[in-house]
């Protein structure tokens, strides 16, 4: 009996060391145990500046992979990202049109907004069911990058909002990463809440097996941010807050690449800091890098914290680390940290409050840090593991295919 065929449209895929790439690879491997799976993705480009020359090749023994020679735009640019989205969307549509009579299901994780729309429209045409995963809410997230002059925000919503509503309304299911995101999309897009499947992002569980650590190994408190240094990450706020905290016997490590890394390095130089250092994270080394930290740091700009749970928080908690978070108190991520008793939450964009959190964490004794870290890990094992969350997603896909 021939296996049913699934297409995974993936805007990012390993060896790209970003969360969505890892999630889609895990999903592909899980589905390939029962289905004939093909992945279509652009050539690797994320994060900006990452060296892919020495990264290991993806093991494709259990699935098929098509790497498109489409336009890529790792640097943040509205028009460049639009071109990238349309370019990859066109390549995906071309493949679907050629093989539509063979495909039983599509996991539609292309680029926002146009790429997702192009694939969704093609799925509707050929009556192919699809799930669309939502990590960031568009076009709203675009508004944080655009000045609100002459009613620009209102115009962007009017011009682009219908695209987002289309691929959400026609999906067999919509995967979101938080309850508040699902509630917001259901209300603003006029879609039944039942269509939304809330599944938190996961990390590679096996990478975090050896998570136990000794705090303040060198007698100093090591604060750390690990992730993509872009505008949404609000790294500049963290740097200014750490500077204002004026700590002794502490260090702040900012690990990862991204569009804003050079600007943040320049800021640190201007501030005259020698205890704020930058570094890279090799592929598969997130857990190893984070093990050297005493406290992980996370900051989200006002208006972005309520749109989902950042994937880096999952990694922070899987590492069994206390967390300092600057974000709106109603954000799901803030609620997770508070519920787990895993750290401190301060108001979004409040430099002074975040500086005070740095000071408080630096003064805590080792036993308190250890307790917070253990709480963090326990919460992650219960709610953020790959084993439980991946199964929820694959089960939903199988149910859709069997309908």
Q: Mean pLDDT, to the nearest integer, of 246-252?
A: 95
* Residue 154 burial class via C-beta count within 10 angstroms: exposed 0-12, middle 13-18, buried 19 and up: exposed
**Which residue, among 289, 295, 290, 288, has the nearest Cα to 242 in the 3D structure?**
295
Per-residue confidence band for 357, with pLDDT thresholds at 50, 70 and 90: very high
For residue 20, the model assigns a pLDDT of 93
Overall pTM surpassing 0.85 (yes/no): no
Is the per-residue pLDDT at 1 higher than 60? no
**DSSP letter assigned to residue 208:** G
* Residues 174 and 164 sit within 8 Å (Cβ to Cβ): no
Angle at 311 between CA 309 and CA 313, to 5 degrees: 80
For residue 378, the model assigns a pLDDT of 94
Per-residue confidence band for 150, with pLDDT thresholds at 50, 70 and 90: low
Mean pLDDT computed over every residue of the chain: 92
- Name which residue leads in pLDDT, 80 or 76: 80
Is the per-residue pLDDT at 376 higher than 80? yes
* Residues 171 and 185 sit within 8 Å (Cβ to Cβ): no
- Residue whose structure tokens are 């994060």: 47
Measure the CA–CA gap between 137 and 141, rounded to whole angstroms.
Answer: 6
What residue ranges define each of the domains in the chain, with the CATH number in brackets?
A: 5-202+385-402 (3.40.50.2000), 206-383 (3.40.50.2000)
DSSP, collapsed to helix, strand or coil, labels residue 345 as: strand
* Residues 220 and 248 sit within 8 Å (Cβ to Cβ): no
For residue 146, the model assigns a pLDDT of 66
Per-residue pLDDT tens over the stretch 166-178: 999 999 999 999 8
Taking the CB of residue 2, how many other CB atoms lie within 10 A of it? 6
Measure the CA–CA gap between 80 and 259, rounded to whole angstroms.
Answer: 14
Measure the CA–CA gap between 95 and 131, rounded to whole angstroms.
Answer: 18
Measure the CA–CA gap between 25 and 37, rounded to whole angstroms.
Answer: 11
Where does 104-205 have alpha helices with state H? 114-126, 140-143, 152-169, 179-189
Name which of 125-134, 151-160, 277-286 the model is least confident about. Answer: 151-160
* Residues 309 and 180 sit within 8 Å (Cβ to Cβ): no
Q: Mean pLDDT, to the nearest integer, of 358-379?
A: 96
């Amino acid at each position: 009996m021939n296996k049913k065929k699934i297409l995974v449209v993936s805007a990012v895929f390993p060896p790209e060391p970003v969360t969505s790439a890892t999630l889609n690879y895990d999903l592909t491997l899980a589905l390939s145990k029962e289905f004939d799976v093909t992945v279509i993705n652009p050539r690797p480009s994320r994060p900006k500046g990452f060296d892919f020359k020495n990264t290991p090749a993806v093991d494709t023994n259990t699935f098929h992979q098509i790497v498109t020679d489409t336009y890529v735009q790792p640097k943040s640019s509205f028009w460049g990202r639009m071109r990238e989205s349309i370019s990859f969307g066109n390549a995906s549509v071309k493949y679907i049109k050629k093989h539509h009579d063979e495909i039983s299901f599509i996991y539609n994780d292309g680029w926002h907004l146009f790429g997702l729309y192009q694939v969704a429209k093609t799925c509707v045409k050929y009556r192919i069911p699809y799930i669309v995963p939502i990590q960031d809410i568009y076009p709203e997230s675009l508004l944080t990058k655009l000045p609100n002059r002459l009613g620009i925000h209102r115009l962007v919503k009017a011009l682009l909002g219908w695209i987002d509503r289309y691929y959400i309304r026609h999906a067999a299911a919509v995967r979101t990463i938080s309850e508040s995101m699902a509630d917001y999309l259901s209300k603003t897009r006029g879609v039944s809440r039942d269509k939304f499947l809330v599944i938190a992002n996961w990390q590679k569980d096996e990478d975090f097996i050896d998570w136990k650590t000794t705090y303040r190994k060198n007698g100093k408190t090591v604060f750390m941010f690990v992730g993509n240094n872009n505008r949404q990450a609000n790294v500049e706020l963290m740097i200014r807050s750490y500077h204002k905290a004026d700590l002794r016997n502490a260090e702040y490590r900012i690990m990862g690449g991204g569009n804003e890394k050079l600007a943040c390095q320049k800021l640190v130089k201007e501030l005259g800091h020698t205890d704020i250092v930058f570094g890279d994270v090799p592929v598969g080394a997130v857990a190893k890098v984070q093990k050297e930290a005493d406290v992980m740091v996370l900051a989200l700009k006002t208006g972005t914290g309520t749109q989902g749970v950042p994937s880096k928080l999952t990694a922070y908690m899987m590492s069994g680390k206390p967390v300092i978070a600057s974000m709106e108190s109603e954000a799901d991520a803030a609620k997770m940290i508070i519920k787990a008793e895993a750290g401190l939450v301060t108001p979004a964009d409040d430099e002074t409050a975040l500086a005070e959190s740095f000071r408080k964490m630096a003064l805590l004794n080792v036993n308190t840090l250890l307790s917070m870290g253990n709480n963090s890990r326990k919460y992650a094992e219960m709610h953020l593991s790959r084993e439980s969350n991946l199964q929820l997603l694959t089960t939903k896909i199988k149910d859709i295919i069997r309908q």
